[in-house]
């Protein structure tokens, strides 16, 4: 049985221990990153400023707009709350309870990351064609987004001591009470950061809600852009999305709280009865079953159709796969470069203006892909026309859209590096930049890698911006899947869907630590 080491005094938060003013070079890089990802917001501002005030009132008073806002907020709150609750529970089960094959279960729990939301709905519609509305949208979005909370919370739990919970249990508290009072404050930043990503993901989702006929603001923006040359209503609805995102990001700042971390070399795992082990295993398996297994069954049915063999084009599938992998890796690298200075600034220095700057970095993830795509069409044609419809603009769009996915994990990983180590490096003669390069980056590298992988997975699945910005003659797996599905060629779409799930599963497996399965904890 593993032994437990004595609990040491909680390490000081890296952010709380930062003193003095942040270096000018770090502030400059962080501001440049925020300005870069704010290009779509500038585009919206230009569009919205051209809308007369009377038109704003007219748009807001339309009954459909109120319904879209209500549907959007209700769905986003429900999905993010479910993801935080279920993600924290699943992370606790696989890290603190002796359910057997814990690392394999963590791998399984990460698999929904590999399934695009619209593909999940596609698979369910094959099996149950009549589903639509709020409940299916909530269930499927929750299933595919729970890993955004599970993985960072599991990482936080592995880095914290279970000794405090054991002491609380000896004082008469139950397991749930001990977790809430002792462990939750230590993992809350990771859980809340993951919940923010889930909220913004739901806020900007289009494919799933369109397939399940649940009207949200993203559906309204898409309809407004495609129905008329007058973009006023679309700009106003997109601005509503931005306002909602601003409010939620501000709320996340206060809900996250400060990091209180303890350390331990080993921690014991709670033994379980056979029936409890089965129950907890079913809980862990629920999201993968809903978000992966059932959609894959529907996909398998379509793959078995005769039309698949007649319309299958191996050369086109290979080209789409190569393009998808290439732009995903490039976007992950660019997004991480944009996120690093902002994450370091927010993790090390507690200032109101820094929190505001960090919050601005999250806003692009609340925008629909079509808004980001159109804004970069406008920007590239006006500023750098030679880059219009090139891979460079497409990768840049992905980095703008998904930089927040790297920002949250990067900030948490840098914040978790003990400030005392930085102080020691400085006393040994290292400059701030050298201490950052030689101490902070190596220790934070696993968290930075998680952020990059999250960006890569999101890029593989992104659709609206890709449709607008992809170079002529090229395609990705997502665009091929969507175009064939929209044309009713479900059998022809199946091979692209299968390969998309396969390659997106690779970073999802890396995220869950599949390389450590051989050292599985029993």
pLDDT at 136: 94
pLDDT at 9: 40
pLDDT at 279: 86
Query: pLDDT of 424-442, one tens digit each?
Result: 776 777 676 777 667 777 7
- Would you say residue 172 has pLDDT above 70? no
Give the residue with greater pLDDT, 461 vs 271.
461
pLDDT at 144: 92
pLDDT at 111: 82
pLDDT at 2: 42
- Domain assignment present for residue 345? The answer is yes
pLDDT at 166: 59
- Would you say residue 491 has pLDDT above 80? no
Specify the 3-state DSSP secondary structure of 29.
helix
Q: What is the DSSP string of 94-127?
A: HHHB--SSHHHHHHHHHGGGGS-HHHHHHHHHHH
Structure confidence at residue 230 as a pLDDT band (50, 70, 90): low
- Domain assignment present for residue 3? The answer is no
- Would you say residue 345 has pLDDT above 70? yes
Give the residue with greater pLDDT, 469 vs 431.
469
The closest of 197, 212, 186, 189 to 80, measured between CA atoms, is 197
Burial 54-67 (b: 16+ CB within 10 A, else e): eeeeebeeeeebee
Distance CA 201, CA 60 (A): 24
Instruction: Write out the two tokens for 409.
Output: 């994990």
- Domain assignment present for residue 26? The answer is no
- Per mean pLDDT, which of 1-15, 133-147, 348-362, 453-467 is the most reliable? 133-147
Q: DSSP letter at 172?
A: T
- Would you say residue 15 has pLDDT above 70? no
Structure confidence at residue 1 as a pLDDT band (50, 70, 90): very low
- Per mean pLDDT, which of 51-65, 151-165, 282-296, 401-415 is the most reliable? 282-296
pLDDT at 14: 44
pLDDT at 228: 60
pLDDT at 466: 85
The single residue listed with the structure tokens 């929209």 is 486
- Per mean pLDDT, which of 77-81, 471-475, 494-498 is the most reliable? 77-81
pLDDT at 486: 65
pLDDT at 512: 58
CB of 514 within 8 A of CB of 316?
no
- Domain assignment present for residue 8? The answer is no
Give the residue with greater pLDDT, 135 vs 507.
135
pLDDT at 186: 75
User: How confident is the model over 130-157, as a mean pLDDT?
Assistant: 90
User: How confident is the model over 106-135, as a mean pLDDT?
Assistant: 85
Other beta carbons within 10 angstroms of residue 424's beta carbon come to 13
- Would you say residue 519 has pLDDT above 50? no
Q: What is the percentage of the chain residues whose pLDDT exceeds 90?
A: 13
- Domain assignment present for residue 369? The answer is yes
Which residue pairs from 268-273 have beta carbons closer than 8 angstroms and sit at least 24 positions apart in sequence?
268/1, 268/2, 268/4, 268/162, 268/166, 269/2, 269/96, 269/97, 269/98, 269/521, 270/96, 270/97, 270/98, 270/175, 271/98, 272/97, 272/98, 272/99
- Would you say residue 167 has pLDDT above 70? no
pLDDT at 83: 95
- Domain assignment present for residue 23? The answer is no
- Would you say residue 44 has pLDDT above 90? no
Q: What is the percentage of the chain residues whose pLDDT exceeds 70?
A: 78
Please report the sign of the dihedral spanned by the C-alpha atoms of residue 490, residue 492, residue 494, residue 496: negative
User: What range defines the domain where residue 165 resides?
Assistant: 38-266+273-519
Specify the 3-state DSSP secondary structure of 503.
helix
pLDDT at 157: 78
Mean pLDDT is lowest, of 235-244, 301-310, 389-398, for 301-310
For the chain, how many structural domains are there in total? 1
- As a whole number, the mean pLDDT across the chain is 77
User: How confident is the model over 190-206, as a mean pLDDT?
Assistant: 86
- Domain assignment present for residue 27? The answer is no
CB of 113 within 8 A of CB of 194?
no
- Per mean pLDDT, which of 10-19, 201-210, 228-237 is the most reliable? 201-210
pLDDT at 520: 41
Q: What is the CATH number of the domain that holds 493?
A: 1.10.3720.10
Structure confidence at residue 207 as a pLDDT band (50, 70, 90): confident
User: How confident is the model over 323-339, as a mean pLDDT?
Assistant: 92
Q: DSSP letter at 289?
A: I
- Would you say residue 407 has pLDDT above 90? no
- Would you say residue 5 has pLDDT above 50? no
- Would you say residue 277 has pLDDT above 70? yes
- Domain assignment present for residue 279? The answer is yes
* Confidence (pTM): 0.73
């Amino acid at each position: 049985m593993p032994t437990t080491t004595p609990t040491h005094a909680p390490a000081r938060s890296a952010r709380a221990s930062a003193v003095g003013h942040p270096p000018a070079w770090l502030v400059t890089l962080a501001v440049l990153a925020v300005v870069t990802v704010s290009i779509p917001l500038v585009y919206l501002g230009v569009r919205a400023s051209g809308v007369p005030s009377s038109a704003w009132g007219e748009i807001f008073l339309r009954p459909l707009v109120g319904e879209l806002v209500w549907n959007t907020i209700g769905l986003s709150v429900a999905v993010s709350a479910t993801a935080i609750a279920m993600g924290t529970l699943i992370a606790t089960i696989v890290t603190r309870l002796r359910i057997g094959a814990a690392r394999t279960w963590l791998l399984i729990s990460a698999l929904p990351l590999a399934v695009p939301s619209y593909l999940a709905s596609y698979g369910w519609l094959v099996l149950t064609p009549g589903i639509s509305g709020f409940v299916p949208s909530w269930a499927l979005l929750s299933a595919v987004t729970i890993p955004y909370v599970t993985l960072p919370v599991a990482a936080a739990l592995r880095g914290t001591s279970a000794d405090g919970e054991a002491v609380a249990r000896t004082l008469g508290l139950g397991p749930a009470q001990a977790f809430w009072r002792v462990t939750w404050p230590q993992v809350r930043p990771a859980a809340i950061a993951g919940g923010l990503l889930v909220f913004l993901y739901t806020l900007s989702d289009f494919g799933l809600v369109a397939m399940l006929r649940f009207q949200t603001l993203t559906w309204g923006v898409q309809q407004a852009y495609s129905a008329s040359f007058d973009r006023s209503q679309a700009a106003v609805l997109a601005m509503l999305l931005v306002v909602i995102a601003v409010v939620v990001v501000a709320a996340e700042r206060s809900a996250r709280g400060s990091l209180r971390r303890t350390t331990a070399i080993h921690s014991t795992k709670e033994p379980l009865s056979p029936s409890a082990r089965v129950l907890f295993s079913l809980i862990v398996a629920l999201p993968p079953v809903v978000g992966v297994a059932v959609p894959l069954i529907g996909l398998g049915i379509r793959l078995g159709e005769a039309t698949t063999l007649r319309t299958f084009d191996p050369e086109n599938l290979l080209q789409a796969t190569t393009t998808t992998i290439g732009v995903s890796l490039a976007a992950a690298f660019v997004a991480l470069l944009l996120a690093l200075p902002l994450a370091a600034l927010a993790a090390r220095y507690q200032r109101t203006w820094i929190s505001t700057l960090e919050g601005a970095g999250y806003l692009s993830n609340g925008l629909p892909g079509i808004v980001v795509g159109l804004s970069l069409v406008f920007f590239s044609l006006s500023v750098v026309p030679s880059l219009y419809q090139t891979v460079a603009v497409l990768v840049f769009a992905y980095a703008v859209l998904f930089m927040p996915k790297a920002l949250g994990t990067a900030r948490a990983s840098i914040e978790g590096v003990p400030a005392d180590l930085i102080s020691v490096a400085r006393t040994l003669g290292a400059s701030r930049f050298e201490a950052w390069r030689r101490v902070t980056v190596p220790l934070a590298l696993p968290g930075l890698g998680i952020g990059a992988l999250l960006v890569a997975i999101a890029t593989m699945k992104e659709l609206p911006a890709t449709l607008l910005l992809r170079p002529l003659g090229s395609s990705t797996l997502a665009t091929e899947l969507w175009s064939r599905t929209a044309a009713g060629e479900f059998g022809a779409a199946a091979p692209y869907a299968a390969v998309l799930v396969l390659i997106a599963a690779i970073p999802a497996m890396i995220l869950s630590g599949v390389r450590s399965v051989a050292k599985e904890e029993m």
